[in-house]
Structure 1
Amino acid sequence: MKIKTLTVSEVNNYIKKILDNDFILNNLSIRGEISNLKYHSSGHIYFSLKDENSKVNCIMFKSKSFDLDIVLQEGMSVIVSGRASVYTANGTFQIYCDRIEQEGLGELHIKFEKLKEKLSREGYFEDEFKKPLPKNPYRIGVVTSETGAAIQDIINVVRRRNTKVDIVLYPALVQGDGAYKTVIEGIEYFNKKKSVDVIIIGRGGGSMEELWNFNEEPLAYAIFKSEIPIVSAVGHEVDFTISDFVADFRAATPSQAAEVVVPLEENQYNQISEYKERLSFIISDRLREEKQKVKNLEKILSLNSPSNRIANAYLEIDNLKEKIEKIIEFKIKSSKEKIFSLNNILNAHNPLNIIAKGYAIIEDGTGKVVKSKEFFEGTTEIKISMEDGYVKGNFTPIEKGGFYYGKERKL
């Protein structure tokens, strides 16, 4: 029996006919969890429906999505009504959805929310613990798959923005059981080596299951304990993981992470020029200030130089000399006047002046002035001093008399 050879199109069309004519496959109601969800710009909705062991691709056309009264989300548990068929262009088996009803949150989503709530309660998401990103990093550490699109996107963006920044890749697994452990190893490696200024961890987009390694609790702890700032760039803009919340900065995509971390080289040169100009101004201004200080010090030194001080000392000596001379002159003059005055007084009381008027001084033998007539009792030795000299001799009184109001009277 000869077997007929069919084309690929014929096979796909045959399978499609069988599926389209099957009553059960044309009236399906399937329970499962949504993953790999995508709202297409055309209005169609693409996603996978999965359970613990299997998954099937689904599509809801724009015309059917108008009647959808819920917003589909990753991890959402739903009941899908529709039919199974084959897209003959690529032989894809998929469910064409007519109606979708929410049944409840999926297990992964529940697990995600519980861990998120726990870490939030413990303070792992607080801004006070987030480290600032370096403004001008020299080396960037990247922890991701060496064959994925993420590292290529990062390299392209970094090289376009700045040719002076080095990129160091730590190859890690970003999908599959236990892949998060290699991401932790990368973080610990860079923290041990201290060879980079910032770390980017991440991968491209995918379903919640494919991104789940970035929702693991041990990885969250490793990110939090890192001494080097970490940027989380997991999936697309609509994708959120625990790593995004714990990291110091969350980037929507790996490309955005590179843009955030790496400054434009042109801006750096402009900033350097600005700093150079400001520094030059500061130095010039400082030099002017210091020169003025030197001039002021020169003036002070000039005023206080030894030669000036000596000259000033001579002037001070001359002034003191002149002052002393005036004091001496005044003292001499004052003394002369005093001597003159005393001399006048002395002259006024000088006995010799009295004698010159015709008076005499009588002294006894001992030189004592005789003031009373009672001295003379008998013959007495006396000395009589007059203007031109004195005479000595014995005197014998003949009569004793007295004076009364200027007239002689006998006593």
Structure 2
Amino acid sequence: MYIKTLTVTLVNSYVKKMIDNDIILNNLKIKGEVSNFKKHSSGHLYFSLKDDSSKINCVMFKDYASLLDINMEDGLMVEIKGKIKVYQKEGSYQLYCEEIKKQGVGELYLAFLKLKETLEKEGLFKLQHKKPLPLYPKKIGVITSPTGAAIKDVINVAKRRNPYIDIIIYPALVQGSGSSNNVIEGIEYLEKDKKVEVIIIARGGGSIEELWSFNDEALARRIYESKTPIVTGVGHETDYTIVDFVSDLRAPTPSAAAEIVFKSHSEIKKDIDNNYNKLQKSMEDNIFKKKNEINLFKNTIEFNSPITYILNEHKKIKVINDRLNISIKKKVSEEKNKLGYMMELLNSRNPLNILNKGYTLVKDESGNIVKDSKSLSGEQQVEIKFRDGSLKAKIEYK
């Protein structure tokens, strides 16, 4: 029998036609647990439906999704009505969902919730137990798969942001049997290096089964007990595992964890320059303030110094002296004027002034002024006062 050689496109087209014409595959009802659920910005829903041994990729377009009356989330047990279709370009098939009914919660998700509740009650998630990250770490440890995309993302971010930081990578299993113990060994190994200041645990996205290693209780408790701060970047932004709650900081992705931990060299330099400028301005402002305080103290001391006090008192004395001199001069002038007036008045009334007209003044022996001749007798001595002098005389005849 001759079989024609087919192209990939023809094979995928043939498989698509076979499935499209299958009655069962075009009218399915499937029961399983929702895993790796994501809602696209377009409104379409993407997730996996799994049971104990298999899974199938599912999509529900927004027209059907808008009619849902349940909240889709990982771990939810559902019954789905839909069709199996082939995506010919990729050669893959998936379930196109039309109706979804809630059946319960999956076993893995129930286990996740139970452990989360237990650790939360013990206080392992409390903020006061979170260790602060170093501002400028010099050496960083990374626990991840040596062959996965996560390590490439971390290294690329590290090179771009700060190539001067040392990185020590602990190659670990991040999926499957023994992976959680391997991550614990990585923590213990890196903690022995006292120069490692922070540890990143990284793993790319995946289903709840693929990320189950990070829901391990022993791993969660070891992260809690770690003396070195630990940052987790496990899965995608919507993926949450137990280690995310117990770690010191949860990043949505491995790249985001690296962005947080590896401080940008340019930003550090900028911070240093800004702090230098702030410090310089603060010092200048402080010096200016202290100078003003010194000048104020100096002025206060000078104002209250004995020399200033004495000089001020001298000024006051001079002012008082000047006022006193002015007052004395004024008083003397006033008294002189009064005296002159009194002298003029006295002179005008001085009986001796009549002597200038040729008159004389006669006094008896007792010095009394003789007003009439009756008071005199013969042989009596008298004094006759003239304008320019006086004479002694004796009365011979009366």
1:246 corresponds to which residue?
Answer: 246
1:20 corresponds to which residue?
Answer: 20
The one-letter amino acid of 1:16's match is: K
Higher Rg: 1
- Contact 2:44–2:62 (CA<8 Å) still a contact in 1? yes
What is the distance in 2 between the residues matched to 1:131 and 1:250?
A: 12
TM-score by length of 2: 0.67
2:34 corresponds to which residue?
Answer: 34
1:101 corresponds to which residue?
Answer: 101
1:136 corresponds to which residue?
Answer: 136
What is the distance in 1 between the residues matched to 2:238 and 2:214?
A: 15
1:180 and 2:143 aligned:
no
Q: Deviations over 1:79-135 (max 9, x none)?
A: 010122322222212222111111111111101100000000111111121111101
Going from structure 1 to structure 2, the CA distance change for 1:194 and 1:61 (only over 3 Å counts) comes to same
Alpha-carbon shift at residue 227 of structure 1 (Å): 0.5
Q: Deviations over 1:198-247 (max 9, x none)?
A: 00102111111111111110110110111100011111111111111100
2:260 corresponds to which residue?
Answer: 260
1:3 corresponds to which residue?
Answer: 3
Q: Deviations over 1:261-317 (max 9, x none)?
A: 2222233224434555638976997xx99xx9xxxxxxxxxxxxxxxxxxxxxxxxx
- Contact 2:132–2:248 (CA<8 Å) still a contact in 1? yes
Give the number of equivalent residue pairs: 288
Moved more, 21-30 or 3-12: 3-12
The one-letter amino acid of 1:168's match is: I
What is the distance in 2 between the residues matched to 1:40 and 1:276?
A: 47
1:52 and 2:90 aligned:
no
Q: Deviations over 1:373-407 (max 9, x none)?
A: xxxxxxxxxxxxxxxxxxxxxxxxxxxxxxxxxxx
TM-score by length of 1: 0.65
Which stretches in structure 2 are left out of the alignment for 5+ residues? 295-398
What is the distance in 2 between the residues matched to 1:258 and 1:21?
A: 50
Indicate the SS of the match to 1:263.
Answer: coil
Going from structure 1 to structure 2, the CA distance change for 1:163 and 1:10 (only over 3 Å counts) comes to closer
The one-letter amino acid of 2:41's match is: S
What is the distance in 1 between the residues matched to 2:211 and 2:167?
A: 24
Going from structure 1 to structure 2, the CA distance change for 1:56 and 1:270 (only over 3 Å counts) comes to closer
Indicate the SS of the match to 2:73.
Answer: coil
Indicate the SS of the match to 1:111.
Answer: helix
Indicate the SS of the match to 2:260.
Answer: helix
- Same amino acid, percent of matched pairs: 55
Going from structure 1 to structure 2, the CA distance change for 1:280 and 1:53 (only over 3 Å counts) comes to same
What is the distance in 2 between the residues matched to 1:92 and 1:130?
A: 44
Going from structure 1 to structure 2, the CA distance change for 1:265 and 1:90 (only over 3 Å counts) comes to closer
Q: Deviations over 1:42-100 (max 9, x none)?
A: 33222211100111122222332222222321121110101223222222122221111
2:324 corresponds to which residue?
Answer: none
Which stretches in structure 1 are left out of the alignment for 5+ residues? 293-411
Superposition map of 1:220-369 within 5 A:
220-273=220-273, 278=279
